[in-house]
Amino acid sequence: MTAPAPDGTPDGPAPDSFRAAAIPIAGATFLSMVGVGMLVPALPELARGAPDPALAAGSLIGAYGFSRLLFNAPSGLALDRIGIARAANVGLLLLAANSALGYFSAHYVVLLAVMAIQGAASSLFSTAAMTALVLKAGPAARGRAMAWFQSSLLLGFATGPVIGGQVVDRFDPHLPFLLQVGIALLAMLAVRAMPGGTGKPGQGKPQGGPGGAPAASVWKTTLVLGGLAGFAAFATRFGIAWNLVPVEARGPLQLSNGELGWIIGLGTLANLAVTPFLGKLIDGYGARPTYAVAAVLSVAAMVLLLTVPSRAVLWLATALILLATGVMIPAAAALALTGAEPRRMGQLMGIYRTMAESGMAIGPVALPAFTAALGLPVVSGLLPCIALTALAACIVLVIGRRPSASELAAPRPGAA
C-alpha cells in the first residue's frame, strides 16, 4: 500500500513500477524530438530557392513553433475526451504521414503547411506523454515525472540537429523527413506503456464533485502561478540561448559558429547533468523553494554577464542560465499541477503548456525588440530577463504559500 500524498491521494506506484513505464514513454519522447530536431539543419537548405532564404527558413521554424503553441490547449482537451494512448497514437501517426508528405514535396508553401502540421502533431503527442508520466508518478512525485520528461526532451533536441546535419551534408535535405516517418512509427511501440491503456485519465472515477455536484473550475491559483513561472523560465531560456548569446557571440565578441555551438552544447550538458536529481529536489524540498533557488542562480549569472560581457563569462553564464532554467521549468510544471484531478489532467496540462511555452515564442523576439527600441547594446537584453525572473520567483514564494479557499475548507488529515 502506498503512502498518502500531501493532498490526501495515494502517492503513486513504487519507484520500480514508475521506472518500468517511464523508460519507454521517455524513450518515445526522445525519439519524437530527435525526429523534429533532424529537420532544423535541413530547413535553411530547403529555403534556398526563396527570394529571402533567411526569412523563409525562419518562417518554417516559426510555423512549427506557433502551431505547437496554438494546439497545446486543444491537445489537452483531446486527451480527456479520447484517452492518453489514443491521442498519442493519433499524434504520432499524423507526424509520420505528414513527414512522408514533406519528403515528397519541393514547394515552399507545402513545406510551410507541413511544418505547421508537425507542430500540431508534436503538441498532441508531447501533451499525452507528459500527462502519462505525471499520472503514473502520482501527486507526490510529479517532480520526478517532470525530470524524466524534460531530460528526454532535451536529449532529443540536442541529438536531432547533430544527426540531421550529417544527413543533410552527406545526402539530401529532404531525407530527414523520411527518417522521421520511421522514428514516429517506432515511438508508437511505447504508447502501450502509458497508464490506462486507451482509456481516459481518471477513467471510472466520478465525473463531478462530492455528491454529484459539478466539478470545480480548472483555474486554480497553483495553475496560474505555475504557468507564469514557466513563462518566465521559457522566455529567459530561449530568449538568451536562441537570440542574445548567438548575437553577442558572433557580434561584439567575434566568436566562431563552432565555438558558439560548443557554448550552447555545454549549457545543455550542464542541464542534463542535474536532471537525474530534479525529482528528489522538487518532490523532497517542494516546487516553490526549488524554483526560487534556481531563479536566484539564473539572476546571478545574468548579472555577471551584464556587468562583465567577456568570452569566458559568456561560457560560464550561458551554462549556469541553461542549468538554472532547466530546473525552473519542471518545478513550475509541478507547481501548476498541484492538486490536479486525474480526470482533468489533460486539460490542465494543455493550459499549463500554452501559458509556459508562449515564453519560448515571445522571448527571442522581445529581447532584440527591447534593445533596438531603446538603442541599447545586445547584452542589455538581460535586463528584462532579470526583472521577469526575479518577479516570478517573488510571486511564487509570496502568493504560492497562501492556502486557497478549498484548502482551508478541506478537513485536515487525522481530524475527527
pLDDT tens-digit map of 260-271: 778 877 887 888
Residue 26 scores a pLDDT above 50: yes
Q: Quickly count: other Cβ atoms within 10 Å of residue 62's Cβ.
A: 17
Residue 12 scores a pLDDT above 70: no
Percent of the chain residues past pLDDT 90, beyond the cut: 17
User: Average pLDDT in the 31-50 region?
Assistant: 78
Q: How far apart are CA 92 and CA 88, in angstroms?
A: 6
Q: Find the largest Cα–Cα distance for the chain.
A: 74
Residue 10 scores a pLDDT above 50: no
Residue 304 scores a pLDDT above 90: yes
User: Average pLDDT in the 90-116 region?
Assistant: 88
Residue 335 scores a pLDDT above 70: yes
Cα atoms found within 13 Å of the Cα of residue 107, Cβ hemisphere only:
4
C-alpha 89: how far from chain center: 20
Which of the four pLDDT bands, split at 50, 70 and 90, describes residue 32? confident
Q: How far apart are CA 81 and CA 201, in angstroms?
A: 9
Which of the four pLDDT bands, split at 50, 70 and 90, describes residue 272? confident
Residue 259 scores a pLDDT above 90: no
User: Average pLDDT in the 58-81 region?
Assistant: 81
Classify domain 15-200 at the CATH topology level: Growth Hormone; Chain: A; (1.20.1250)
User: Average pLDDT in the 290-308 region?
Assistant: 95
Please identify which residue in the block is written with the cell numbers 561560457.
Answer: 315
Q: Torsion angle of alpha carbons 282, 287, 291, 293, nearest 10°?
A: -70
DSSP SS3 for 316: helix
Q: What Å distances lie between residue 240 and 61, 243, 272, 292, 302, CA to CA?
A: 17, 5, 18, 19, 10
pLDDT in tens, 154-213: 778 777 777 877 787 788 888 888 898 988 888 887 776 555 444 555 554 434 444 444
pTM, two decimals, is 0.74
Position 384 scores a pLDDT of 94
Q: Quickly count: other Cβ atoms within 10 Å of residue 127's Cβ.
A: 30
DSSP SS3 for 3: coil
Position 41 scores a pLDDT of 73
Position 201 scores a pLDDT of 56
DSSP 36-63: HHHHTTHHHHHTTTSSSHHHHHHHHHHH
Residue 53 scores a pLDDT above 90: no
Percent of the chain residues past pLDDT 70, beyond the cut: 83
User: Average pLDDT in the 290-306 region?
Assistant: 95
pLDDT in tens, 282-297: 888 888 999 999 999 9
Kindly state which CATH superfamily the domain 221-402 is placed in.
MFS general substrate transporter like domains (1.20.1250.20)
Position 6 scores a pLDDT of 40
pLDDT in tens, 360-410: 878 887 888 888 889 999 899 999 999 999 999 999 988 755 544 444 344
Position 194 scores a pLDDT of 55
For 40-141, where are the alpha helices, taking DSSP H only? 42-46, 53-70, 72-82, 84-104, 108-137
Q: Which residues pair with 363 in a beta bridge?
A: none
Q: How far apart are CA 94 and CA 51, in angstroms?
A: 30
Q: Which of 136-150, 243-257, 330-344 has the lowest mean pLDDT?
A: 136-150
Q: How far apart are CA 27 and CA 246, in angstroms?
A: 30
Residue 257 scores a pLDDT above 70: no
Closest CA to 342 of 6, 15, 1, 12: 12
Angle of helix 15-39 versus helix 108-137 axis, rounded to 10: 170
Report the mean per-residue pLDDT for the chain: 78
The CA R_g of the chain, rounded to the nearest whole Å, is 21
Residue 253 scores a pLDDT above 80: yes
User: Average pLDDT in the 101-128 region?
Assistant: 87
DSSP 191: G
Closest CA to 34 of 152, 129, 208, 203: 152
Q: How far apart are CA 177 and CA 100, in angstroms?
A: 6
Q: How far apart are CA 88 and CA 79, in angstroms?
A: 9
User: Average pLDDT in the 350-356 region?
Assistant: 84
Position 233 scores a pLDDT of 94
| 381, 243 contact by CB (below 8 A) | yes
Q: How far apart are CA 385 and CA 242, in angstroms?
A: 14
DSSP 218: S
Q: Quickly count: other Cβ atoms within 10 Å of residue 9's Cβ.
A: 15
Q: How far apart are CA 371 and CA 388, in angstroms?
A: 16
Angle of helix 287-307 versus helix 221-239 axis, rounded to 10: 30
Q: Where in the chain is the domain with CATH 1.20.1250.20?
A: 15-200, 221-402
Residue 351 scores a pLDDT above 80: yes
Which of the four pLDDT bands, split at 50, 70 and 90, describes residue 79? confident
Return the C-alpha cell found at 398: 509570496
